[in-house]
Amino acid sequence: MTTTHTTAPTDPALSVPGTLERFTYDDKIVRMFLLATLVWALVAFLVGIIAAVELAFPQANQLLSILTGGIVSSEYITFGRLRPLHTNAAIFAFAGNTIFAGIYYSTQRLCKARMFSDLLSRLHFWGWQLIIVSAAVTLPLGITQGKEYAELEWPIDIAIAVVWLVIFGGNFLMTLIKRRERHLYVALWFYIATIVTVAMLHVFNNLVIPVFGGTLIKSYPVYAGVQDDFMQWWNGHNAVAFFLTTPFLGLMYYFMPKAADRPVFSYKLSIIHFWSLVFIYIWAGPHHLHYTALPEWASTLGMIFSLMLWMPSWGGMINGLLTLRGVWHKVTTDPVLKFFVVAVTFYGMSTFEGPMLSIKSVNALSHYTDWTIAHVHAGTLGWNGFMAFGMMYFLLPRLFQTKLFSKKLAETHFWLGTIGILLYIIPIYVAGLTQGLMWRGLTDQGQLLYPRFIETVTQLVPMYWIRVLGGTLYMAGTLLGAYNYYMTWRSRPKTYEEPVHEAPALTKGYTDPPPPESKIHGVTDFGHKLDVWMQFQWHRKWERLPVRLTLWVLVAVVVASLFEIVPTFLIRSNVPTIATVGPYTPLELAGRDIYIAEGCYNCHSQMIRPMLAETERYGEYSKPGEFVYDHPFQWGSRRIGPDLAREGGKQSHNWHVLHFKDPAQITPGSIMPPYPWLLQKDLDFKSIPLRVKAMTILGVPYTQAQRDNAEELARAQAAMIAGEIVEQNGEAGLEDKQVVALIAYLQRLGTDIFKTPEPQAPEGGD
């Protein structure tokens, strides 16, 4: 070992030793979660690859349906329905189970205690898997709240709250309380922040009014328009922060020094970057909403807090990478460290790119393009995925108490994964930049250079094919990992050894060491105090008080949230009302629910930004007052297809009918899949009064007549539209089909603001 010496006094000298206790660790639960990690990883990647193929080859869903003999109807596997399934599987199933495996393994060892309750651990495992399975069933069926990363409907949301906070959170906190290690290691702080904050985000973003009646699983969020969208990205951004970052930093802090057998680089950096990260991350959500109808002050806050977040994020990266000082040679031979090093490097890259993308003028180019997609995949495939696989190879020999089946296969997995990531992100970066630049290109005469949206789509298709290749390589690596897992498991002993550990129980009478003295000279008293403060002994005290630490984390995230949420909800000038904007008619409301169920928002935005290239393409930019009855908002985050905020009146009804039937027939090169079932399936008129009633509870001003006669009104409007379709030389008999409701909704979009008494063209004269 190297020449190191200790400066701080060690604990045992200061405390009365408690009675010696004997205990074992529950590694079975870790094995369960690790297996689930691998299974869901394969599912998430497979769904991702299918979704990727659909963008390059839009007939893929029909082809897949034929290949499965029609068992999987093409309706359930359109991109709009698969994309939420992919994101939920990747984040909550794959990353989620990774987190749980790592937390259950490390927490027991860091606390010198078995998990508080084996029963709670099992309930957590099976509860979470059940949640994932219900997500996998409901999302393809179109049962969704229609908010990205918060798609799951209310019964599943309640299950998540119970399993996450009560079962997992309770079990974890009680383990901390029953621990035999006096102080909490930094990994545990990150776990605490994860549990507390995810629970808060999940509950407040998913406050909904359910629509009751029949077999309907449907709800509307209590927030509308600007506020709903603000809450959603407060949640969405912090899902990245507190589901994909803080828990994985915790895992890094445990597994990286373990695998490298080196001390962590800097305890002080751990403290500073932990608290700054937890406090600052929460503010950054509005950077997803630059140039939208969100009030500008909120968007500016989102940007500057993202910039301030750069160093707190990098604190984790340097603490990880500098821990490897002196042992870099191990990285060349150990696949575990290889995965970790690349993971942390991708973390550093993503957390530099994130602040950069949050700068408004950069975001003006990148927003709605594939650039964002490349950014998140660098983060998830690189950082989360490689942390998960590194941890898996670390755990396999320890959990199955045998040698890893093949180090060479693990190496191959590493290289396949790395090349896979590069082949995924590089073409998608190119696609994002290409699309962003094509959208904004103007001719010398001030017109759009590429006025047809489809030109900006067909240009990307070759990139989409390379992405399919990259994703396939990444999944091939994972399959090698699965084989390695299986073969290692096969050579496990007949019965696992369960080593018994010994440690003294914690006693009450603990005194902290005396406060350090300032050794610097020539400064004021304040300077001395600051110097002492910077020794962080006050923090050392917090580290042995888990409840207090938890409360401070809660204070940090709640205070930061309230600073943004309270003004957004209370200041009326944030959402100037527009007199001519009214609620959707009952039929339009039903059509909107079809729009949500089909996942249209996954490809189409409804938010025109105040930029010339956007208003030239789509029409007048979107105003906050236009969305006051939108429960939920449908602004979207990606334009795989064109924006629809001003779609109303742009095309004829019959154009929409023909377009839904076969988009490529109307727009050659279109990558939108056909939706023939919209013309065949009956609209559920019976449920429309229930939908109107739920909206009324939320404060949408439907008249008494609309509430009493919602179904009749809807039927009348449907008959009118169906009649017009016939007059436009379209097919007859559509008055009770879903397509009519959806067309009614689309023809309403963005038209209300033109109902002003002065018939003024949107751009007027000069």
Partner 1 sequence: MSEPPLQDNLTGHEYDGIREYDNPIPGWWTWLFVAAIVFSVLYYMAYQLGTAGTSVAQAYDAEVTANLRMKFEEIGTLTPDEPTILMYLNDKEWLLFGQKVFVGKGACASCHGKDGEGLTGPNMTDDAYINVKRLGDVGTVIQHGANNGAMPAHINRLHPNEIVMVAAYVASLRGQNKPGPRGEEGSVIDPWPEAPAPQAPVEPTD
Q: Which stretch binds partner 1 (CB under 8 A): 239-247, 318-326, 429-437, 559-567?
A: 318-326
Within residues 694-733, the interface with partner 1 by CB under 8 A covers 724, 727-729
- Measured between alpha carbons, how far is 735 from 726 in angstroms, rounded to an integer? 10
Q: How many residues bind partner 1 (CB under 8 A)?
A: 86
- Measured between alpha carbons, how far is 184 from 180 in angstroms, rounded to an integer? 10
Within residues 617-636, the interface with partner 1 by CB under 8 A covers 617, 619, 621
Supply φ then ψ for residue 219, to 5 degrees. Answer: -150, 160
Q: Which residue in 404, 415, 559, 403 sits closest to 478, CA to CA?
A: 415
Q: Is 361 in the site for partner 1 (CB under 8 A)?
A: no
Out of 52, 55, 91, 264, name the contact with partner 1 by CB under 8 A.
264
Within residues 427-446, the interface with partner 1 by CB under 8 A covers 443, 445-446
Using DSSP, state whether 532 is helix, strand or coil: helix
Q: Is 766 in the site for partner 1 (CB under 8 A)?
A: yes
Within residues 556-575, the interface with partner 1 by CB under 8 A covers none
> Shortest approach of partner 1 to residue 2 CB, angstroms?
5
> Shortest approach of partner 1 to residue 283 CB, angstroms?
10
Q: Which of residues 512 and 727 has its CB atom nearest to partner 1 in the complex?
A: 727
Sequence-distant (6+) residues with CB within 8 A of 166 are none
756, 757, 760, 762 alpha-carbon torsion, rounded to 10°: 0
- Measured between alpha carbons, how far is 378 from 363 in angstroms, rounded to an integer? 18
Using DSSP, state whether 503 is helix, strand or coil: strand
> Shortest approach of partner 1 to residue 362 CB, angstroms?
14
> Shortest approach of partner 1 to residue 372 CB, angstroms?
20
Sequence-distant (6+) residues with CB within 8 A of 401 are 492, 493, 496, 497
Which DSSP state fits 144?
A: -
Sequence-distant (6+) residues with CB within 8 A of 140 are 76, 77, 81, 82, 85
Q: Which stretch binds partner 1 (CB under 8 A): 65-73, 135-143, 252-260, 374-382?
A: 252-260
Out of 369, 550, 654, 706, name the contact with partner 1 by CB under 8 A.
654
Out of 296, 502, 708, 731, name the contact with partner 1 by CB under 8 A.
296
* Burial group, residue 212, by CB count within 10 angstroms (0-12, 13-18, 19+): exposed
Q: Which residue in 139, 90, 84 sits closest to 474, CA to CA?
A: 90
Q: What token pair was written down for 700?
A: 């949408």
Q: Is 679 in the site for partner 1 (CB under 8 A)?
A: no
Q: Which of residues 294 and 475 has its CB atom nearest to partner 1 in the complex?
A: 294
How would you classify the pairing of strands 20-23 and 218-221?
unpaired
Cβ–Cβ < 8 Å for 112, 501: yes
Out of 649, 699, 701, 733, name the contact with partner 1 by CB under 8 A.
649
Q: Which stretch binds partner 1 (CB under 8 A): 257-265, 586-594, 698-706, 707-715?
A: 257-265
* Burial group, residue 408, by CB count within 10 angstroms (0-12, 13-18, 19+): exposed
Q: What DSSP assignment string belongs to 429-447?
A: HHHHHHHHHHHH-B-TTSS
> Shortest approach of partner 1 to residue 530 CB, angstroms?
13
Q: Which of residues 3 and 511 has its CB atom nearest to partner 1 in the complex?
A: 3
Q: Which of residues 89 and 741 has its CB atom nearest to partner 1 in the complex?
A: 741
- Measured between alpha carbons, how far is 662 from 442 in angstroms, rounded to an integer? 31
Q: Is 297 in the site for partner 1 (CB under 8 A)?
A: yes
Q: How far apart are the first and last CA of the chain?
A: 78
> Shortest approach of partner 1 to residue 304 CB, angstroms?
4
> Any idea which residue has 């090698």 for tokens?
480
Out of 652, 662, 684, 716, name the contact with partner 1 by CB under 8 A.
652
Q: Which stretch binds partner 1 (CB under 8 A): 149-157, 236-244, 270-278, 471-479?
A: 270-278
> Any idea which residue has 């399919």 for tokens?
468
Q: Which of residues 89 and 718 has its CB atom nearest to partner 1 in the complex?
A: 718
Per-residue x/- mask for partner 1, residues 173 to 192, rule CB under 8 A?
--------x-x-x-------
Q: Which stretch binds partner 1 (CB under 8 A): 201-209, 269-277, 567-575, 624-632?
A: 269-277
Q: Is 6 in the site for partner 1 (CB under 8 A)?
A: yes
Q: Which of residues 60 and 742 has its CB atom nearest to partner 1 in the complex?
A: 742
> Shortest approach of partner 1 to residue 677 CB, angstroms?
21
Q: Is 114 in the site for partner 1 (CB under 8 A)?
A: no
Q: Which residue in 644, 653, 649 sits closest to 672, CA to CA?
A: 644
Q: What DSSP assignment string belongs to 359-400?
A: SHHHHHHHTBSHHHHHHHHIIIIIIIIHHHHHHHHHHHHHHT
Out of 71, 500, 732, 761, name the contact with partner 1 by CB under 8 A.
761
Out of 80, 302, 312, 674, name the contact with partner 1 by CB under 8 A.
312
Within residues 319-348, the interface with partner 1 by CB under 8 A covers 325-327, 329
Q: Is 222 in the site for partner 1 (CB under 8 A)?
A: no
> Shortest approach of partner 1 to residue 622 CB, angstroms?
12
Q: Is 502 in the site for partner 1 (CB under 8 A)?
A: no
> Shortest approach of partner 1 to residue 101 CB, angstroms?
16
> Shortest approach of partner 1 to residue 174 CB, angstroms?
19
Q: Is 318 in the site for partner 1 (CB under 8 A)?
A: yes
Q: Which of residues 288 and 653 has its CB atom nearest to partner 1 in the complex?
A: 653
- Measured between alpha carbons, how far is 395 from 274 in angstroms, rounded to an integer? 26
Cβ–Cβ < 8 Å for 553, 54: no
- Measured between alpha carbons, how far is 758 from 488 in angstroms, rounded to an integer? 75
